[in-house]
Amino acid sequence: MTAEMNLTHAECAERARTISLRSQRVELDLSGAPDPAQRTFRAVSTVTFGATTDETWIDIVADSVIAATLNGTPLDVSTYDGARLVIAGLEAENELRVEADCVYSVTGEGLHRFTDPEDDNTYLYTHFEPTDSRRLYPVFEQPDLKAEFTFVVTAPQDWEILSGQPEVGRTTADGCATVTFAPTPPLSSYITAVAAGPYHRVESTWSVERADGSRQEIPLTVLCRRTMVPHFDADDVLTVTHQGLDFFDRHFGFPYPWGKYDQIFVPEYNIGAMENPGLVTFTEQYLHRGTSTRAQRQGRASTVMHEMAHMWFGDLVTMRWWDGLWLKESFADLMGYHVTSAATQYADGWVRFAADRKQFAYRQDQLPSTHPIVAVIDDVEAAQQNFDGITYAKGAAALKQLMAYVGQEPFFAGSRDYFARHAFGNTEVGDLMECLERASGRDLETWSQAWLETAGISELTPVPEVGADGHLTRLVIEQDARDPLRDDAPVERPHRLVLGLYRLKDEVLTRTRTIELDVTGARTEVPQAVGEAVDLILVNDDDLTYAKVRFDKVSLRHALEHTTTISEPLSRAIVWSSLWNATRDAVLPVGDYVRGALAQLSSETHPALAATVLTTLTTAIEDYTPVADRDAARSDLVRTATTSLAAAESGSDLQIVWARALVRATASCRDGVAAVRGLLDGTAVPEGLRVDQELRWAALAALTAQDDTTEEELAAELAQDATMGGRTAHVRASSGRPGADAKARVWEAMTTDTSLTNDRLRAMVAGFTEPASSHDRQGYAEAYLDSLTSWWSGRTIVMATVLARGLFPRGDLASGQGPEEHEVLVRVEQWLRDHESAPAALRRIVIEEADGLLRALRAQAAA
């Protein structure tokens, strides 16, 4: 039989209607994990449940199902198709026992196995979201079938053996330990977790004594693999953890419900982190092998807070189905920034949110695949694709607007009511809105419809009228808000925002007045501004709402020349973001943006903001600038990076930012080769700059893209850094070598070698797509389109997505050619017509990538 890996909302809703889950015991034998020849492990799952139907199925993705019994009677396991086992003959109350041999993963899905090349130690960890717990054990794989899970794990006795609940029993035999963990509270399967291996651990305790006399004490542990200990900033992680638990205990009013709080940093992780209650997993990329900037540590703190918020939003109260994904992710994204700014040393967290995180939302919200925050999710493949900028960043921005709209205290009061009413249950959008309405006294139905149930971005534009004396005689804010999913029908979105008015004096833009107001409808008069003299009008100055902000002509000119003179980093972030949005929309010619950014960036004092603008500047040059102008822009960027690096304060974060920018720019421009060589050999290293291993590998990758290294040089560097990170960096650098033969070899390896790990595949894709060798990648469009469906059917969804997104063919506009006439777009449109029955998730990837190319070509045409 052919495995049907997809799960539809309709069939899962029917299963939830007929099945009442009680408890589940999961027994795992991982004793053979250190032996690479053992590709499978034994999993035994015992489920108790009620039923009002005669037949259902249990989900399991395994090498084989060995046996199954229902209420003591053996079942015919020949019905197993690779993803589902049919269960017939159900009674009112049932006990199902299924025994299977499941497969160790190298793709980060299910139970991932990693062997450290430095010391040959083996490490295991799980990742299940949205539907991969079925790769570890037989399970009813949907969020609204919660159970009390008891995990029993056998593994080498000298390993750390972990799950989401505390250990309650242990026996040893033949060098292995069998550990029994306490039953979980009612839990969805996708947030169960197991980890095992010789992890290094650091312990602490969080405790609280509350005003009502209650007291709580929670054991804390942070873990990493042994060879990462030199880079493990456990004290900083634990400090942030204490601060977060203090905040959430005060504001959420529901005691932490999961018994313990472990945080484990793991290799080859597919995402940033996952909120498994009691055992949160993080990518090792948060353990910085090189010099870390404050912005990098702040990013880690925000992620810690994001996952901690999930202990309530998502874990304690869970969406009923994946169309409620925002009920956890939007709130966690908001709390990640809010709590980091309110409770830690990183009080400027909202700067990165405005400049960087919201761009994630703006990009997604302008794609053909845009959707409301509350989306319609028909199946789990669609759910996988909806972990996107709308669900995370737009949802967080909308909730930030809601917090401003109802007030911060009513917002948290409504959250407390939500937890109290729905603890350990499943909810939908109306359940939360009812709680917030009770707390705030506001009718939120209109707000919810406008913000959560429509797609698209509001565009806010100031329209000033100025008298002969240079003062405003009238100011109107125009709003253009349309839903692209409803034939561009107008949407009435209310915005609570701050309007900033600025004057230019002695070449410095100074904010002279702020006006807080509600913007509603298509036009909002601002009578408070009449009589003011202004040189720049900044709508949404404190970034309270979610909207694209435009400039009037005078404001635009001053923004392109004087943004870095504005004193408040958050205000500068909004200006930079607005300029970039206008460039992406081909409203602002890309050349104006490139020249304005290059002229000002050396004066940008906020390192995280400088890094974000450098990233958008690179995209502007490599994708949006016409080919004829691109080399000159590349040279200008290398020159700016070189002079800014030389001028940066010794040992500062800005020095690191500019060193990384110089290296990155050199990958596309030979002008930087000598300077990057100087960093590598030590002959031209600015005082205070540490050329760490991460920077060395980045430099070698850039030089390889210019064909300025040898394989022997890369091998020698690998011999000095034979770590997992070093090996991945070596693959990345080697895959970036230009030349048709070199690219052909990388293409063959990426697309045929199914043994590649997730990190290794990503590294090869990154090298293959290096901008400097773009001409060597021409001609792969047909191979890409011919391979898409086989990738999707023959790989896991994670690995297929890496290929489908990463290898999408690029192109530049030819003279006299219209953007829609580009041959790649013509071929893609034909593929879409020929593959109307292809999986919707795959078609969505192709449509989104094609739209990105079309946007770039339109910007080239408008330059």
Catalytic residue IDs: 307
Q: Give backbone dihedrals phi and psi of 264, rounded to 5 degrees, phi first.
A: -125, 130
CA angle 496, 500, 503 (to 5 degrees): 170
Token pair recorded at residue 673: 């080769």
How far apart are alpha carbons 122 and 106 in whole angstroms? 12
Nearest to 822 by CA among 771, 783, 767, 860: 860
Token pair recorded at residue 637: 């960027």
Is 136 in a helix, a strand, or coil?
coil
How far apart are alpha carbons 549 and 539 in whole angstroms? 6
**Alpha helices, H only, 267-394:** 294-310, 326-343, 349-352, 358-365, 380-385
CB atoms within 10 A of CB 168: 11
Say what the alpha-carbon torsion angle 287, 292, 296, 297 is, to the nearest 10 degrees: 70
Mode of pairing for the β-strands spanning 261-266 and 215-224: parallel
Is 624 in a helix, a strand, or coil?
helix
Tokens 């059917």 sit on residue: 793
Instruction: State the amino acid at position 392 in one-letter form.
Output: Y
Sign of the torsion angle spanned by Cα atoms 412, 417, 423, 426:
negative
Instruction: State the amino acid at position 479 in one-letter form.
Output: Q
With contact defined as beta carbons under 8 Å apart, do 661 and 682 qualify?
no
With contact defined as beta carbons under 8 Å apart, do 638 and 671 qualify?
yes
Phi-psi map region of 108: left, alpha, beta (phi>0 left; psi -120 to 50 alpha): left
The neighbouring-strand residues paired with 501 are 513, 537
Which residues, at least 6 apart from 468, have a Cβ–Cβ distance to it below 8 Å?
Answer: none
Is 196 in a helix, a strand, or coil?
strand
Mode of pairing for the β-strands spanning 55-59 and 84-88: antiparallel
183: burial class by Cβ within 10 Å (0-12, 13-18, 19+)? middle
How far apart are alpha carbons 722 and 727 in whole angstroms? 6
How far apart are alpha carbons 147 and 190 in whole angstroms? 11
User: What are the strands, taking DSSP E only, across 116-231?
Assistant: 122-127, 148-156, 160-163, 167-173, 176-181, 194-197, 200-209, 215-224
Fill in the DSSP letter of residue 123: E
Instruction: State the amino acid at position 384 in one-letter form.
Output: Q
Token pair recorded at residue 204: 């602490």
800: burial class by Cβ within 10 Å (0-12, 13-18, 19+)? buried
Fill in the DSSP letter of residue 80: -
Nearest to 269 by CA among 795, 804, 797, 759: 759
What percent of the chain is helix, strand and coil (3-state, nearest 5)? 45, 25, 30
Tokens 């100087």 sit on residue: 678
Mode of pairing for the β-strands spanning 148-156 and 19-29: parallel
With contact defined as beta carbons under 8 Å apart, do 607 and 355 qualify?
no
How far apart are alpha carbons 181 and 191 in whole angstroms? 15
Is 650 in a helix, a strand, or coil?
coil
CB atoms within 10 A of CB 834: 10
Sign of the torsion angle spanned by Cα atoms 234, 240, 241, 246:
positive
CB atoms within 10 A of CB 538: 26
